[in-house]
Amino acid sequence: MPELPEVEVSKLGIQPHIEQQTVTKVFIHNASLRWPVPDEVHSIEGLVIRSVRRRAKYLLLDTDVGSVILHLGMSGHLRIVPQHEALKKHDHVEIHFENGKALRLNDARRFGACLWQEPKHSHTLFAKLGPEPLTDEFSAQWLFERSRNKKVPVKQFIMDNHVVVGVGNIYANESLFKAGIHPKREAGKVSLKRYQTLAPIIKQTLSAAITQGGTTLKDFAQSDGKPGYFAQQLLVYGRKGQPCVQCETPLQEIRLGQRSTVYCTVCQK
């Protein structure tokens, strides 16, 4: 599943092609996504995309009458292509612009979404989301205060979108390793001092992934591109049994919340 850096790179990739551009036509080739595509999405025809924003793993295309919300689901991706280019299988939503380009949402598994948000309103999907991890609102103090008396493993705690959005499985694994925190440690038993180490590492890890993903931005204008997916330089995730980069102890893998969790038994306490 695309995680926050992949979605942020998707935003950066489509932004220069569609921001401040007038929408000429919206085509819904398949309305049966995770939720039915609402008719209101057609409201943006004839209007300018004022901004392209990201909230958690959702992208918002803002106009004067409301916002189209896009979610990539498990397998979705966005492409910027010439309008005359033939559709690919699983191209479900297509938006044409006055510059001759089209934004297409392709999603083989149809777990993605195309929804509508009224102006000056917040969609119910956003109602209980925590802060963005790359903002000042997210801090060690925030984590510490919300973790008190929590018995849930710290890895699941930082992956909870009510606590902070966008810290997916890959980046939770990586951040906890860099911070030297065992993923099964109860969130409520992690000290403020250790959260003061972890919070900046989460920010740095996500920022580095976004920067690395920026090298794929050219793919957004290629018909065969799958933007937002890029090679990761990972220290623990996907490295079960391989030597720890710090102490060379073989990395262990367990399941937490049904997710693969890889860690070092020596370096993480």
- Predicted local confidence at residue 220, as pLDDT: 54
Per-residue pLDDT tens for 26-58?
A: 999 999 999 999 999 999 999 999 999 999 999
Q: Which residue has the tokens 């932004």?
A: 15
Q: Cα–Cα distance between 203 and 76 in angstroms, integer?
A: 25
Q: Where in the chain is the domain with CATH 1.10.8.50?
A: 140-263
**Catalytic option among 53, 226, 240, 259:** 259
- Predicted local confidence at residue 6, as pLDDT: 86
| CATH dotted code for 4-126 | 3.20.190.10
- Predicted local confidence at residue 213, as pLDDT: 76
Please say if 2 is a catalytic residue: yes
Q: Which residues of the chain have pLDDT under 50?
A: 222-225, 227-229
Please say if 89 is a catalytic residue: no
- Predicted local confidence at residue 157, as pLDDT: 98
CATH topology (fold) of 140-263: Helicase, Ruva Protein; domain 3 (1.10.8)
Is residue 90 annotated as involved in ligand binding? yes
- Predicted local confidence at residue 233, as pLDDT: 78
- Predicted local confidence at residue 3, as pLDDT: 85
- Predicted local confidence at residue 126, as pLDDT: 96
**Catalytic option among 11, 55, 57, 178:** 57
Please say if 3 is a catalytic residue: yes
Q: Where in the chain is the domain with CATH 3.20.190.10?
A: 4-126
- Predicted local confidence at residue 215, as pLDDT: 56
- Predicted local confidence at residue 217, as pLDDT: 56
